[in-house]
């Protein structure tokens, strides 16, 4: 057994509110509303669900044992206090039997969901608890993806636990071009909460950008970025969180494991 966090994880601070002078106040000051300077661009909070109150309703879809391979282990995805928990057993199989998948998709807000489109810039912040049993592998182990909705589509961005020259790492890549954005050692981040700040400018061809910041105990352990990259396929872009891994690992790293996720925030640059 591996130690669980002994206290509630820190949640990222919500975006600060701004006070905007109205037309009436402008008139009192002797200027019209149209004469007021335009507000500076900033991050606007669009989504801030709570595992405790929203549960799995926070997401657009829930992909829990899609193949029905392990009913005795269900639910593999559930809210647990202030966290969302993703549990993976070695016997679990996806609809493609060479891999495993327990993931949630999208950002639901009541009866609708967030749409991320070309020309927009978005920021996702969240905290992860990665137990030592969830190891990096020689084939893919993704714990976050950005994708076009629909089955059979390739990822745009993947955050992965990958073996590099035998060492366990956590990394972010542009999937289509296999472009590395950032990478750092995973083992120092096991069994503790880490904070992720991911930003994506959505654009075709060379019009996109990404930035990926990971902090542990308030210390930045990786801060990588790429510009002039392709971050759009079709329709829209949505995130996925959870455990999605290949059974082709050759390092002996596949174990029963879980992942905890909390403090989810989505902001749009406006």
Q: Strands, DSSP E only, in the chain?
A: 43-47, 61-64, 77-80, 83-88, 99-105, 108-109, 112-113, 121-129, 141-147, 155-164, 167-174, 179-185, 193-201, 208-216, 219-229, 238-246, 257-269
Dihedrals phi, psi of 35, to nearest 5 degrees: -85, -10
What distance in Å separates the CA atoms of residue 250 and residue 117, rounded to the nearest whole number?
Answer: 38
DSSP assignment of 190-253: TTSEEEEEEEEE--STT-EEEEEEEEETTEEEEEEEEEEE----SS-BEEEEEEEEES--SSS-
Q: What is the pLDDT of residues 124-176, one digit of tens each?
A: 999 999 999 999 999 999 999 999 998 878 999 999 999 999 999 999 999 99
Q: List Cβ neighbours of 38 (8 Å cut-off, separation of 6 or more).
A: none
**Token couple for 192:** 């503790």
Residue 234 and residue 148 in contact, taking contact as beta carbons nearer than 8 Å: yes
What distance in Å separates the CA atoms of residue 215 and residue 78, rounded to the nearest whole number?
Answer: 25
What are the Cα distances from residue 159, in Å, to 135, 240, 244, 266?
14, 10, 11, 17
pTM of the model: 0.85
**Token couple for 119:** 């020309």
Residue 264 and residue 123 in contact, taking contact as beta carbons nearer than 8 Å: no
Of the candidates 207, 211, 210, the residue with the CA atom closest to the CA atom of residue 230 = 207
Residue 244 and residue 147 in contact, taking contact as beta carbons nearer than 8 Å: no
Residue 209 and residue 201 in contact, taking contact as beta carbons nearer than 8 Å: yes
Torsion sign over Cα 175, 180, 182, 185: positive
* pLDDT at res. 161: 98
Residue 81 and residue 251 in contact, taking contact as beta carbons nearer than 8 Å: no
* pLDDT at res. 41: 82
Q: Going by DSSP bridges, is the β-strand pair 77-80/257-269 parallel, antiparallel, or unpaired? A: unpaired
Domains of the chain: 55-269 (2.60.120.200)
Q: List Cβ neighbours of 176 (8 Å cut-off, separation of 6 or more).
A: 154, 156, 230
Q: Say if residue 102 is exposed, middle or buried (CB neighbours under 10 Å; 0-12, 13-18, 19+).
A: buried
* pLDDT at res. 33: 38
* pLDDT at res. 23: 38
Which residues in the chain land under pLDDT 70? 1-40
* pLDDT at res. 110: 85
Of the candidates 124, 128, 159, 112, the residue with the CA atom closest to the CA atom of residue 265 = 124
């Amino acid at each position: 057994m591996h130690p669980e966090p002994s206290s509630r994880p820190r949640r990222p601070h919500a975006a600060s509110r701004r006070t905007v002078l109205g037309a009436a106040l402008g008139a009192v000051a002797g200027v019209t509303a149209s004469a007021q300077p335009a507000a500076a661009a900033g991050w606007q909070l669009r989504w801030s669900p709570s595992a405790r109150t929203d549960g799995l309703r926070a997401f657009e879809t829930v992909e829990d044992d899609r193949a029905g391979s392990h009913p005795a282990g269900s639910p593999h995805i559930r809210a647990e206090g202030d966290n969302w928990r993703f549990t993976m057993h070695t016997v679990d199989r996806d609809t493609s039997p060479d891999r495993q998948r327990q993931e949630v998709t999208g950002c639901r807000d009541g009866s609708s969901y967030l749409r991320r489109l070309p020309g927009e810039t978005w920021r996702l912040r969240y905290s992860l608890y990665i137990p030592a049993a969830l190891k990096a592998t020689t084939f893919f182990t993704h714990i976050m993806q950005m994708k076009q909705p629909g089955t059979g589509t390739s990822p745009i961005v993947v955050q992965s636990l990958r073996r590099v020259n035998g060492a366990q790492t956590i990394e972010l890549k542009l999937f289509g071009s296999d472009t590395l954005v950032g990478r750092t050692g995973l083992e120092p981040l096991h069994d503790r909460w880490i904070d992720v700040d991911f930003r994506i400018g959505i654009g075709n061809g060379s019009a996109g950008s990404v930035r990926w910041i990971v902090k542990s105990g308030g210390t930045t352990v990786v801060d990588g970025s790429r510009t002039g990259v392709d971050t759009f396929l079709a329709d829209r872009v949505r995130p996925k969180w959870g455990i999605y891994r290949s059974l082709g690992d050759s390092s002996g790293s596949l174990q029963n494991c879980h992942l905890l996720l909390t403090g989810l925030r989505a902001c749009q640059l406006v």
